[in-house]
């Protein structure tokens, strides 16, 4: 017999070890809209909001909006927005019901349901986790990609948008006329200067709609940047089974995360703001040092391990980092080449942050698939790998180690081409273009690198033209496309350290 579904009637009958919302959900009114209600949001911002409601109850209920699959109504909606957040740390399991989501809206077929929510005067904060490609920007510059098919469509059909910039611009236009209430649009995606990029794409789109909208946005809308951190892999059937077997109920919207969490938000808002700083978030004047540290160290390690892990035959991050050779490589890369590119972050020791980040990746209960982390790599490698490489080259410092995962990203996509028998399925906006390059060029690593580096939406032309960078990437691609890619990584590790890196690194 199938266990009872999670929902309001079940809350009072849950096992005592399952923590419940510490406030009256029936009295909760919406004030925040969130676009992209995936596992990360439910494990991060929604939990912070749940904490805040328990500490300082106010009109900050969340309305969850999905403009891309999956459909929320089939899972979260049937549970009245309730779901279980599991903390898993090796053998430890901790369950908690999150109650901050008061309503869910599916808006995949039409933007209208999303626009109704976003334009409502009761919504004072809009947050979003729409992934890097959701911003329809050029990764190398951060500008709105005016050639993006969805942007082309939305500029021609502004009342029926389908892109995030188009939907937000239309929602702001709808807010402007009847009530004009200010609103904060807060990106929670893993993009450097995400507030600046969000502001750029929305304002650029709005300018195409006319000066009145652009001027109103300038005066009434804030786009703060934020850094978010918690490892929360995609939910699996095994996670759903864990809830049923261990706690005796069914939850199709369960999410799993590690114990660590962090949220740093730029102190720049329009109108009222939820006081997330009362429950562990930080409001700061400048997010940049925090986001650079996290993206270049933790995310740089994840990206590196994902590509080298797949090439080495590993399925999950924790299995990849358990390999002494790959763990040693990524530690050296971060310590010797990444940390010297970073500026000081108050209260954080750089070497300790590296060890903490690597330790988090060893958690055997967080089954983060390498292919999942590798998704949309063309949107991620700029901030995680290419920017630190550019900083190193500007100082005449070595990039031998950082170049390996850049070549790893190329090898990962090349192996999804016909030439390699489509070794695996990939998801990346540039996957088709790189597969075409691989099928056309064949075995010549130098020619492959030349063609891929010519994609200026990813590679800044000045970096692509750098002879040192090209030489290292060619050598890396040659080694990683060989019959023994991990053996090649071992050869790189065996080479002597660049003597210029023996000076003490600047604080990170």
Question: CATH code for 288-501?
Answer: 1.10.1040.10
Domain ranges across the chain: 8-284, 288-501
Average pLDDT, integer, range 202-208: 96
| Cβ atoms of 226 and 197 closer than 8 Å | no
Tokens describing residue 415: 């192996």
The domain 8-284 is classified under which CATH number: 3.40.50.720, 3.40.47.10, 1.20.58.220, 3.30.565.10? 3.40.50.720
In what order do the strands lie in the sheet containing 83-89? 92-98, 83-89, 255-257
Question: Is the pLDDT higher at 179 or at 476?
Answer: 476
**434-447 residue pLDDT tens:** 999 999 999 899 99
Distance CA 47, CA 55 (A): 12
pLDDT at position 207 is: 96
What pLDDT sits at residue 90?
A: 86
pLDDT at 502 over 50: no
Report pLDDT for 497. 65
Average pLDDT over residues 243-263: 96
Measured between alpha carbons, how far is 232 from 113 in angstroms, rounded to an integer? 28
Task: Write down the residue that tokens 């901050």 correspond to.
Answer: 100
pTM across the whole model: 0.88
Q: What does the pLDDT average to over 346-366?
A: 94
**DSSP designation for 335:** I
Return the C-alpha torsion angle 238, 76, 190, 202, nearest 10: 160
The percent of residues above 90 in pLDDT, for the chain, comes to 88
């Amino acid at each position: 017999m199938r266990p009872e579904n999670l929902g309001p009637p079940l809350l009072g009958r849950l096992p005592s070890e399952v923590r419940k919302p510490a406030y009256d959900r029936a009295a909760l009114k919406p004030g925040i809209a969130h676009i992209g209600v995936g596992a990360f949001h439910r494990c991060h911002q929604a939990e912070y909001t749940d904490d805040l409601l328990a500490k300082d109850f106010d009109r900050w209920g969340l309305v969850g909006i999905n403009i891309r699959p999956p459909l929320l109504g089939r899972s979260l909606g049937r549970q009245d927005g309730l779901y279980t957040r599991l903390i898993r740390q090796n053998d430890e399991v901790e369950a908690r019901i999150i109650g901050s989501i008061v309503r869910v809206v599916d808006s995949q077929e039409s933007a209208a349901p999303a626009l109704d929510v976003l334009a409502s005067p009761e919504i004072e904060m809009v947050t979003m986790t729409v992934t890097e490609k959701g911003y329809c920007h050029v990764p190398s510059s951060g500008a709105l990609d005016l050639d993006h098919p969805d942007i082309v469509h939305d500029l021609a059909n502004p009342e029926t948008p389908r892109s995030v910039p188009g939907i937000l611009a239309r929602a702001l236009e709808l807010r402007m006329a009847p009530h004009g209430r200010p609103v904060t649009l807060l990106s929670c995606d893993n993009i450097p200067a995400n507030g600046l990029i969000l502001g750029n794409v929305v304002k650029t789109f709005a300018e195409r709609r006319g000066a009145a909208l652009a001027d109103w946005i300038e005066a009434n809308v804030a786009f703060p940047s934020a850094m978010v951190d918690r490892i929360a892999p995609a939910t699996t059937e095994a996670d759903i089974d864990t809830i049923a077997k261990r706690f005796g109920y069914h939850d199709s919207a369960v999410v799993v995360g590690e114990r660590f969490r962090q949220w740093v938000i730029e102190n720049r808002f329009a109108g009222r703001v939820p006081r997330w700083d009362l429950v562990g978030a930080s409001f700061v004047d400048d997010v940049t040092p925090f986001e650079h540290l996290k993206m270049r160290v933790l995310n740089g390690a994840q990206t590196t391990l994902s590509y080298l892990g797949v090439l080495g035959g590993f399925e999950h991050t924790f299995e990849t980092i358990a390999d002494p050779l790959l763990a040693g490589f990524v530690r050296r890369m971060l310590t010797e080449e990444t940390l010297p590119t970073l500026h000081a972050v108050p209260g954080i020791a750089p070497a300790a942050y590296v060890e903490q980040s690597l330790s988090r990746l060893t958690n055997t209960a967080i089954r983060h698939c390498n292919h999942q982390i590798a998704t949309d790599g063309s949107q991620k490698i700029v901030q995680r790998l290419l920017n630190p490489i550019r900083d190193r080259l500007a100082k005449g410092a070595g990039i031998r180690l950082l170049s390996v995962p850049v070549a790893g990203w190329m090898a990962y996509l090349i192996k999804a081409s016909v030439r390699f028998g489509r070794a695996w399925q990939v998801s990346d906006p540039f996957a088709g273009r790189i597969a075409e390059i691989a099928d056309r060029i064949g075995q010549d690593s130098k020619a492959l690198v030349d063609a891929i580096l010519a994609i200026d939406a990813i590679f800044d032309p000045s970096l692509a033209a750098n002879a040192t960078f090209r030489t290292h990437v060619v050598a890396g691609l040659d080694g990683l496309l060989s019959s023994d890619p991990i053996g090649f990584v071992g050869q790189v590790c065996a080479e002597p350290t660049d003597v210029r890196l023996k000076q003490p690194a600047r604080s990170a």
